[in-house]
């Protein structure tokens, strides 16, 4: 019987590793992408800034602790003739799957 009743998490430190751009200059963009999407920091990287998301983007979207619905919505406002950022207008749902034990009855 392996019934799962809850999920436990632990806070991990920010991952920091040495850059390899001094050995392979082409790794520059790959390291920037890893930083932008996962939050991995590269020590002594010559230009560690976001490459895929906006510079004002908060968080790292491929991390498991990033909310599934995001944090802000972006839309173009024709009256202001610019992009407008607003808080997310939809409600986040908890998508924890139910556990089915060996006899086929559901728990939860």
pLDDT of residue 20: 97
CA distance 42 to 19: 5
For residue 36, the surrounding DSSP H or E stretch is helix 27-38
pLDDT of residue 64: 82
Question: What pairs with residue 82 in β-bridges?
Answer: 77
The tally of CA atoms less than 13 A away on the side-chain side of residue 35 is: 20
Cβ-Cβ contacts under 8 Å for 105 (sequence gap 6 or more): none
Domain ranges of the chain: 16-107
Q: Does residue 1 carry a pLDDT above 50? A: no
Which of 53, 41, 34 lies closest to 13, judged by CA?
Answer: 41
Q: Does residue 23 carry a pLDDT above 80? A: yes
pLDDT of residue 102: 64
The two three-digit tokens of residue 47, written as one number: 């230009």
CA distance 71 to 58: 8
Residues 52-102 pLDDT 10s: 988 778 888 888 877 777 778 888 999 999 988 888 777 767 666 677 666
Local confidence band at 12 (pLDDT 50, 70, 90 cut-offs): confident
pLDDT of residue 39: 92
pLDDT of residue 61: 87
């Amino acid at each position: 019987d392996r019934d799962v009743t809850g999920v436990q998490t632990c806070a991990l430190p920010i991952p920091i590793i040495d850059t390899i751009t001094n050995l392979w200059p082409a790794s520059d963009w790959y390291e920037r992408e890893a930083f932008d999407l996962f939050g991995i920091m590269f020590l002594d990287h010559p230009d560690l800034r976001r490459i895929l998301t906006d510079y004002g983007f908060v968080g790292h979207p491929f991390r498991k602790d990033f909310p599934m619905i995001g944090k802000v919505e972006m839309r173009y406002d024709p009256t202001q003739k610019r992009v407008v950022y607003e808080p997310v207008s939809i409600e986040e749902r908890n998508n924890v799957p139910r556990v089915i034990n060996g006899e086929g009855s559901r728990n939860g």
